[in-house]
Amino acid sequence: MGSPDGNSQAFQLRLRTGRRVAGIKDDLVTDEIRKNFASDNVSPACPAVMEAMMHANDGCVGSYGDDAVSRTLNARFGDVFETEVMVFPVVTGTAANSLALSALVAPYGAVLCDQSAHIGNDEAGAPEFFMHGAKLITLPSADGRMNPEAMRTGLRLNAQGGILKPPIQALSLTQATEWGTVYALPDIAHLCAIAHEHDIPVHLDGSRLSNAIATLGCTPAEATWKSGVDVLSFGGTKCGAMAAEAVVFFVNERTRPALKDFERRIKRSGHMWSKARFLSAQLLALLDDGLWLKNSAHANAMAQRIVDGLRRHAGVQLPFETQGNEIFVIAPDRLVEELAAAGYAFYRWPTPEGVSGTLIRLVTSFYTRAQDVDALLDEIAA
């Protein structure tokens, strides 16, 4: 499958001007093999996003979100998600998660989430900061996907603590999960139903939601509110933006209280851009013509290409099913060192107990091409 980052207009421009227009890269220009599989946030922004920011850099407009570009966000996201939404762009996923949770949970409350959740492992305590000390109560799982019975048990044990235990006031799920797995929609719906049964709203960390939607072949609505999700952290940076995420509220009885004063929370955390159109423009560019989903479908395909290749290699194991764009591999230490020496970038995960070798993670993005995957597989085979 070819890369979606080609830009025929840029190519044309180059031919005529004889010089490369900064940033609007033509992949034909670079023959270099791309070796950075550390994350989907190491890539550049995709050209459509950069162009949109250029177009947005047009004259004076009201600041603080009161501009034409920003105003279309609710409408456009509403189209894509097929329901009434309120959209609040912010610059990082950490800010999106933390702001969303702070609007759902009192300082004396708690959030229920999987043990692997990004909010509990990779955000330096940001959710607890924004929530003024509220706790994260975590449940272990086999592969990042929360089990409904474990959820019921967790809710019951916590409630038994009476006033000695912070009350659980939000459920936070991650789709696709931090272990690269994807919940089937009925499973999301089941967990949301249990939460709602307990008057608990549901937040979805959708940093890689687009990868999950691409995998499931469902609609954005089916992946979220139709399955019971109340608030979504919409991830843009990992599927092509420069820096753009959004807190998306699906307007209903559970979210109305959370929406109150939400803009004050954003301003108070230093996350309100004066030139907000530059955030909004990136998001609109991603939604345009489903670019966000195309970018992620491509990333998923590249991930499967890697998986197919690895399956032919005897020495490695794949502890989790690769259902998105993250591939977890347990490889012999020697192979891992050789890959690193060859210039490949990837994270080494703490190896599970009783396993020899090193657990590493490879991540693909819209920027990963077939030749890059093939080169990686060749290196591994060697």
CA distances from 292 to 4, 220, 232, 285 (A): 11, 11, 16, 9
CA 131 vs. chain centroid, Å, equals 21
Task: Tell me how far, at minimum, the Cβ of 248 lies from a copy of itself, in Å.
Answer: 16
Which of 269, 318, 370, 375 contacts a copy of itself by CB under 8 A? 269
d(CA 340, CA 343): 5
Which of 7, 45, 208, 361 contacts a copy of itself by CB under 8 A? 45
Report if residue 29 touches a copy of itself, rule: CB under 8 A.
no
Count CB neighbours of 247 within 10 A.
27
Q: Which is nearer to a copy of itself, 118 or 226 (CB)?
A: 118
**DSSP code, position 48:** H
Which of 145, 226, 254, 265 contacts a copy of itself by CB under 8 A? 265
Q: The tokens 């975590």 sit on which residue? A: 138
Question: Which one of 88-96, 215-223, 324-332, 374-382 is the stretch in contact with a copy of itself (CB under 8 A)?
Answer: 88-96
Of 1-20, binders to a copy of itself (CB under 8 A) are 13, 16-17
Count CB neighbours of 129 within 10 A.
14
Q: Which is nearer to a copy of itself, 122 or 289 (CB)?
A: 122
Q: Which is nearer to a copy of itself, 141 or 269 (CB)?
A: 269
Question: Which one of 52-60, 72-80, 221-229, 334-342 is the stretch in contact with a copy of itself (CB under 8 A)?
Answer: 52-60
- CB contact set of 120 (below 8 Å; sequence gap of 6+): 113, 127, 136, 138
Which of 3, 11, 33, 63 contacts a copy of itself by CB under 8 A? 63
Give me the torsion for CA of 192, 196, 200, 203, rounded to 10°: 30
Count CB neighbours of 342 within 10 A.
13
Of 343-362, binders to a copy of itself (CB under 8 A) are 345, 350
Lay out the site mask for a copy of itself across 306-335 (x = CB under 8 A, - = otherwise).
------------------------------
**Shortest CA distance to 366 belongs to which of 3, 34, 23?**
3
Report if residue 298 touches a copy of itself, rule: CB under 8 A.
no
Task: Tell me how far, at minimum, the Cβ of 222 lies from a copy of itself, in Å.
Answer: 28
Q: Which is nearer to a copy of itself, 268 or 313 (CB)?
A: 268
DSSP 236-276: -GGGT-SS-EEEEEE-STTTHHHHTTHHHHHHHTT---TTT
Q: Which residues of 160-174 are buried (b: 16+ CB within 10 A; e: fewer)?
A: eeeeeebbbbbbbbb
Task: Extract the tokens encoding 379.
Answer: 């290196």
Which of 2, 22, 314, 382 contacts a copy of itself by CB under 8 A? 22
What's the maximum distance between 2 C-alpha atoms anywhere in the chain?
72
Task: Tell me how far, at minimum, the Cβ of 57 lies from a copy of itself, in Å.
Answer: 4
Which of 28, 79, 84, 125 contacts a copy of itself by CB under 8 A? 125
Q: Which is nearer to a copy of itself, 44 or 78 (CB)?
A: 44
Task: Tell me how far, at minimum, the Cβ of 321 lies from a copy of itself, in Å.
Answer: 25
Binding residues with a copy of itself: total (CB under 8 A): 87
Task: Tell me how far, at minimum, the Cβ of 245 lies from a copy of itself, in Å.
Answer: 9
Report if residue 229 touches a copy of itself, rule: CB under 8 A.
no
Residue 215 burial (10 A CB sphere; 0-12, 13-18, 19+): buried
Of 196-225, binders to a copy of itself (CB under 8 A) are none
d(CA 178, CA 120): 11
Which of 3, 11, 33, 44 contacts a copy of itself by CB under 8 A? 44
* Phi and psi at residue 237, to the nearest 5°: -65, -35
Which of 135, 208, 226, 294 contacts a copy of itself by CB under 8 A? 135
Question: Which one of 73-81, 177-185, 223-231, 259-267 is the stretch in contact with a copy of itself (CB under 8 A)?
Answer: 259-267
Task: Tell me how far, at minimum, the Cβ of 10 lies from a copy of itself, in Å.
Answer: 11
